[in-house]
Structure 1
């Protein structure tokens, strides 16, 4: 952690492999650096304490620091700049950092930015927000010589170190070998015999030069120069504090000077082995280095590298709330939680706070028990918008009009696996026709909504805001406050499904493991997979016998759709894993319908016969047709390709050419024609009205 706006202090932690298990790491040293006056406090896990390289005895006080040991387990450090450290030494070293409120939104590092917004804690030194844990942690290393070690998102109880493979990372132009039995060819050996080549030794492993290359101790690529610590004054720093485009804003703590190739003072390391001017720095994204002014696709945005920082175009991304599976919720501000109540609940509405009388919409969900573990699922959804009610239940959609407004505010698109519903006030609903619902809203609704989806104010800490506008921590108290029927049974604390059905846990972990696998690796940096994996395991454990596949298929599909919303398509289905049978839509002898994991671009449909779209509300996987030339239009209600489109009435219902249409005026008879809906006066037969 360090102060980012001005250089006042920094806290560093040294993490090394455990003596008991090389695959586990632990904290071994804490370093507090105060810039004015310069103080460097080092506390080791052995209990040794050094201040400016000198050992000190506790208690200690010098006007800037107060250090004491209240018990044999802890050391307390209090500063005069509003920073306090509580350091635990036993049984393992841990540190708790406390800051005064004056540091609010002023700090950065592995501890986050202290702005009460958990959603943006993973910010790297160049100001970019990332989701990938490896990228985030590696960007804040204090010593630039530290190697990047991948973080496996797995159940720690499932680790078996006997099965882990030994991995060695070699520098560029070198290769790892497990049986090195002779000396390496060096540049010096080309002119002078190398005595070490006469020494016999037992074969060892390690990194050696690639074939045809020679080892040289000081081979720097221009304009880099070799920095020799042995020739520099005491206290000098070498490549462990190498100034680069990636660490320019990160304070360095040097454990010892390390010799190596460095850039000239007016240049910075570009991350690719070379140097660049300080005003033309490279950018870093997803383990790849991009040159200044280079363009990259980050999520759904086109971004340009502008001297260490990404400048991205704004695609008008929508905030989304997700309800899926057996009581899983993700709020607009990205708070993940589980709630298993049996009742009708308000998911989101804009009848909140001072707008109780001026709201426009409400979305409610009827949750019913769906397993013998007590878990509940969303079985029926109702959307209230103006004077219209849209109900989603049992894979079907029903629209009713309870007012004077005749034109439907909903547009419904059927994509075989999903229904995509867009509304006139900017809402987008994606329903999988089962238990999964994504609600997307525009930035216009920020600070104006409430319900189980949270309040969309950018702060996930206050998402548990009750109907009475009280922020609580208990999920049951929060969920119960949004009940719409007081007669519903009381919600009880959820028992973990895998504890009720322990025999299903290993199967669930194995099936859901695809979320953490290489299949979804391109998405891990954009959408954190850990909470989706945990939800998948719990839902799969909770499913009744016979519904196993449906549960984990829904959970995996939810993560795949979250990836697709970030423009990352993962083709994860196979004939043996959650297959989709698109042949159901093909007539005998035809093969128009095919599964497409990334959805399709704008199609010619009866709603959009031109096939041109200004924007797509969402792309979803599913079965899609390749319509033939003689039937170029896709009709989404009947799910077939047609040569001639029919008509849509004001409520959005579709009619084929020649279909009779019921009129609100008994004196008229209406019919769908190639020119639209035509109504004729019932008595005289005179053409009276055309819509």
Structure 2
């Protein structure tokens, strides 16, 4: 007899298969001399295979054992291929607030965010990631705040079938918790925003007054109130107040496609790295005399400096 089977002088004429596990119990034929599958095995394609290797078919689509998937077009049923039962089991479920049920490019249905992702630099070494995880880093190096787009994926997919325009944003803070410089590279141009300025930026190292239209209209840099705002077509939007606050906004197309201090924008805040030294090692850009990896002190300036304006007459 073949592998994983044995001789049976009076075996069932309706052997169990991956698709029909209970076939022997309703077999209308008398027993026959056969090679029966060993316990824990069933027929699949003429061979005896382990039951645990059997997949499931749901609405005409094959699913490997253990795979989870949405069983309907509105994401109301979360299903799983149960190899032991040989069938698909489903439970009532649904998308989270701020998500919608849709198909991605590979045809897999899932829940994807409808809102943009926002990463914030809050000053004093404090950041808020795209997935709203707070982290603190008191380094004085340049850091990769975020990068992504331009194809590539980590398997999460995107909500509208696009991958977004490739971009990179770097940040450098200075003593006192202020931002020394932000630099954005997108659509083939590099724009630098320095702290303390409001009406100008550097484009490929050259100072330029606002407003600006760059890369054939794909990138604009304007002033809104006291903030400088860079907007890239199919890419990031960066707002900087010239002091200690900056906000980087990304469209849904970048979901699960980013890296840097701002995290991976996958909707899961628990997997965002928060250890200061790990962040510094991963995203620090070495510059002369820089240090990174320490947790910032509760108050980086002496109390008199912090409170002078409040204590004045």
TM-score (norm 2): 0.50
Q: Is 1:433 aligned to 2:191, yes or no? A: no
Distance 1:442 1:495, change over 3 A: closer
Whole-angstrom CA distance in 1 between matches of 2:219 and 2:165: 17
Matches within 5 A, 1:382-421: 382-393=183-194, 394-396=196-198, 397-400=200-203, 406-421=215-230
Equivalent-residue separation in structure 1 for 2:253 and 2:308 (angstroms):
39
Are 1:482 and 2:283 counterparts?
yes
Q: What RMSD over aligned residues (CA atoms) do the two structures have, in Å? A: 3.8
Give the structure with the higher percent helix.
Answer: 1
Aligned to 1:329, which of 95, 118, 127? 127
2:272 is equivalent to residue 463 of structure 1:
yes
Question: 1:377 aligned to 2:183?
Answer: no
Residue 384 to residue 342, structure 1, CA distance change in 2 (3 Å): same
Per-residue Cα deviation, 1:502-553 (whole angstroms, up to 9, x for no partner) = xxxxxxxxxxxxxxxxxxxxxxxxxxxxxxxxxxxxxxx3345445589xxx
Distance 1:341 1:398, change over 3 A: same
| Aligned partner of 1:542 among 275, 286, 300 | 300
How far, CA to CA, are the matches of 1:549 and 1:316 in structure 2?
45
Which has the larger share of strand? 2
Once the two structures are superposed, what CA deviation does each residue of 1:57-102 show, in whole Å capped at 9, x if it has no partner?
A: xxxxxxxxxxxxxxxxxxxxxxxxxxxxxxxxxxxxxxxxxxxxx9
Q: Tell me the SS of whatever aligns to 1:542.
A: coil
TM-aligned CA deviation for residue 411 of structure 1 = 2.2
Secondary structure at 1:434 match in 2 = coil
Distance 1:440 1:377 in 2: 20
Partner Cα separation in structure 1 for residue 118 and residue 126 of structure 2: 14
Please, which runs of 5 or more residues in structure 2 have no aligned partner? 1-65, 69-92, 99-111, 154-163, 206-213
| Cα distance in 2 for residues equivalent to 1:460 and 1:352 | 24
CA distance in 1, matches of 2:249, 2:117: 5
Q: 1:486 to 1:422 in 2, by over 3 A?
A: closer
After superposition, residues 255-266 of structure 1 pair within 5 angstroms as: none
Aligned to 1:361: 167
Unaligned runs of 5+ in 1: 1-101, 105-125, 131-298, 300-313, 371-375, 465-472, 498-540, 551-575, 577-691
CA distance in 2, matches of 1:317, 1:421: 19
Q: What secondary structure sits across from 1:455 in the alignment?
A: coil
What is the Cα deviation at residue 448 of structure 1?
Answer: 1.1
Pairs within 5 Å for 1:19-418 = 317-350=115-148, 354=152, 360-370=166-176, 376-393=177-194, 394-396=196-198, 397-400=200-203, 406-418=215-227
Partner of 1:71: none
Between the aligned partners of 1:460 and 1:487, the Cα distance in structure 2 is 33
| Cα displacement (A) at 1:451 | 0.3
C-alpha distance in 2 between matches for 1:331 and 1:388 = 25
